[in-house]
Amino acid sequence: MRILIVEDEKSLANEIMLFLSKEHFNCEIALTGINASELLAVNTYDFVLIDIGLPDYNGLDLIKEAKDNDSEAYFIVITARGELEDKLTGFDYGADDYLPKPFSLLELHSRIQAIARRKFGHIKPTITFGNFEIDINNRSLKHKRTTIELTKKEYDLLSYLILNRNRILDRLQLTEHIWGNFFEEDYDSNYIDVHIKNVRKKLSKFDNYNWIKTVRGIGYKFVE
């Protein structure tokens, strides 16, 4: 998943990015509110971690601005400011969680996972389809009791399609959310198609159903 970290304290921003990158998230950093506003206007994110106390912008205004522009991102406010009024305003503007500084990176990761499960309607950390089961915490795929070996990108691709089941995802969306920053002219290459083919091949060894449908001229859709 793709995360934007809006934090003017560079060392903290880098620490968060390093930690979340190891947990298989694609992260970008905006050190100023203006930069964050520009990124939110042209990119799509699954999560935005946002500091209220930016030197050039009110972080709460950034949330409202993004929501007014129909952003589908989930916002977690991370800030040293803990006044009740700030929290209430943040939730009114569309914030999904509030994490006061200092905080544990493990707690941040746990909250992101919890919000993601609620977002996609999965309370448990496992997702089943047919006789397959994906364990989100362990990043593993099984058919009954047999573990199916997937590469990191194959797992990311399959799990993201499943989380967005019955929704058409175009190649640019898949590129941004799974591979991070890519040259836009490359998004319609066969890079994603090759990974889709590999995932389909591994699933077909256990089940003949075509779980990943091709939507001609657009992208792909996971359909049960």
10's enclosing H/E stretch is helix 10-22
Residue 182 has pLDDT above 70, yes or no: no
Cα dihedral 65, 67, 70, 76 sign: positive
- What CATH code is assigned to 126-222? 1.10.10.10
- pTM, full prediction: 0.66
Query: Which of the listed CATH numbers 3.40.50.2300, 3.90.1150.10, 3.40.190.10, 1.10.10.10 matches domain 2-119?
Result: 3.40.50.2300
Residue 181 has pLDDT above 80, yes or no: no
For residue range 206-220, list pLDDT tens digits in order: 999 999 999 988 899
Same fold, 2-119 and 126-222: no
Residue 186 has pLDDT above 80, yes or no: no
Residues for the chain: how many in total?
224
Per-residue pLDDT, 96:
86
Mean pLDDT of 48-55: 89
Mean pLDDT of 119-131: 75
* Most confidently predicted of 68-72, 164-168, 170-174: 164-168
Mean pLDDT of 135-161: 90
Structural tokens at position 41: 């206007």
Give the DSSP per-residue string, 112-169. Answer: HHHHHHHHTT--SSEEEETTEEEETTTTEEEETTEEEP--HHHHHHHHHHHHTTTS-E
Q: What's 63's DSSP letter?
A: H
Q: Which of 7-11, 102-106, 121-125, 158-162 has the lowest mean pLDDT?
A: 121-125
Q: Domain residue spans in the chain?
A: 2-119, 126-222
pLDDT band at residue 9, thresholds of 50, 70 and 90?
very high
Instruction: Label the pairing between strands 97-100 and 126-129.
Output: unpaired
What is the pLDDT of the chain when averaged over all its residues? 85
pLDDT band at residue 184, thresholds of 50, 70 and 90?
very low
Residue 188 has pLDDT above 60, yes or no: no
Structural tokens at position 160: 């993201």
Per-residue pLDDT, 180:
65
pLDDT band at residue 183, thresholds of 50, 70 and 90?
very low
Per-residue pLDDT, 75:
92
For residue range 60-95, list pLDDT tens digits in order: 889 888 888 878 889 998 877 666 666 777 778 788
